[in-house]
Amino acid sequence: MSKSLRATSVKLALATAVVALSAGGMVAGVAAASTSPHLAQPPPVDHQLCYTASSTGFKIPAGVRLINQFSPNGFVPTIRHVPVLHCNPTVKILPTGQVFPITNPNAHLVCFPITVPTPQPTPTVVVTNQFGQAVLIPGQPNRLCVPSWTSLTGPPGKTPKTPPRLNHFTCYPVRVASGGYHPPPVMLQDEFAPAPVNAQVNPVPQELCLPTEKILPTGKTFPIINPTLHLLCFPVTPTPIISPVFDENQFGTRTVTIHATKFLCVPSTKQIG
């Protein structure tokens, strides 16, 4: 992240003492993974601003198993080697002046298309965030989003290849069955934008992304970091882009071309049923 963006994020964070997800009635990032007082609370989940993207193929092994709350026994999808989304943590500012700052500037996501060999469970869910609450009907899983290091100047060259404190996510297309969301105009700033920019969020979400455990064929496991907070992704109007960027994760390091703003993904809670 650029020095100017870090400075802006710090100023924005100081401008508000409490960052609340008002509709969900919870403070952003402090939802506990367990009711046990002896266990540390999981790290926050930042808002993510996602862009359509393309790249040469990453090296993805066959036999990657994904486990989430919809599929507790896991499934082994076919994962395409070419990513379709690149996501940046983003500052969000409401018209009231309430600020949702970036808490983990390294927490980027790169999302790959997936297909499943057999239909997976897709229960109806109630999803709540600061924009409202709705009953959503998911379709079959269509993307795997993996934590990635990002650089605007060259290959990140990080060890380990996966940045800490961020879930993998399995994303599902959704349609609204009842209820709804009412996003106000917002201001957004990620590392592509030198200053906060105005944006309009479409009230109809398109993707629900679930925290996911990923198991490689070698047996190496990437556990769920925060099981409570999901990402609900809404179409959003264009914001500044920088292209290309350099993304690095356990599937490799590649130059990624950024095409256009796609989603604002909002930390959300869900209940099955």
Mind listing the pLDDT tens digit of every residue in the chain (273 residues)? 443 443 344 333 333 333 333 333 333 333 333 333 345 789 999 999 999 999 988 999 999 999 999 999 999 999 999 999 999 999 999 999 999 999 999 999 999 999 999 999 999 999 999 999 999 999 999 999 999 999 999 999 998 988 999 999 999 999 999 999 999 999 999 999 999 999 999 999 999 999 999 999 999 999 999 999 999 999 999 999 999 999 999 999 999 999 999 999 999 999 998
Burial 105-126 (b: 16+ CB within 10 A, else e): bbbbbbbbbbebeeebebeebb
Nearest to 42 by CA among 52, 54, 30: 30
Quote the pLDDT of residue 6. 39
Q: Are 12 and 23 in contact (CB under 8 A)?
A: no
Beta-ladder partners of 79: 114
Angle subtended at Cα 140 by Cα 52 and Cα 48, rounded to the nearest 5 degrees: 35
> Which residues span the domain enclosing 149?
3-272
Quote the pLDDT of residue 57. 83
Beta-ladder partners of 186: 199
| Residue linked to tokens 């359509």 | 52
Q: Could you read off the pLDDT of 156-211 as tens digits, one per residue?
A: 999 898 899 999 999 999 999 999 999 999 999 999 999 999 999 999 999 999 99
Q: Which DSSP helix (H) or strand (E) runs through 144? A: strand 143-151
Quote the pLDDT of residue 197. 98
Quote the pLDDT of residue 3. 38
> Rounded to the nearest 5°, which phi and psi values hold at 10?
-65, -45
Residue 4 has what DSSP assignment? H
Quote the pLDDT of residue 7. 39
CA distance 101 to 91: 5
Q: Are 43 and 225 in contact (CB under 8 A)?
A: yes
CA distance 2 to 243: 15
Residue 7 has what DSSP assignment? H
Quote the pLDDT of residue 39. 54
CA distance 196 to 194: 7
- From residue 117, alpha-carbon distances to 93, 152, 217, 262 in Å are 41, 37, 17, 27
Model pTM?
0.85
Quote the pLDDT of residue 40. 72
> How many domains are contained in the chain?
1
Q: Are 45 and 210 in contact (CB under 8 A)?
A: no
DSSP H helices in the chain: 3-14
DSSP-derived 3-state class of residue 109: strand
Amino acid at 203: P
Taking only Cα atoms into account, the Rg of the chain, rounded to an integer number of angstroms, comes to: 17
Quote the pLDDT of residue 273. 80
Quote the pLDDT of residue 211. 98
Q: Are 178 and 135 in contact (CB under 8 A)?
A: yes
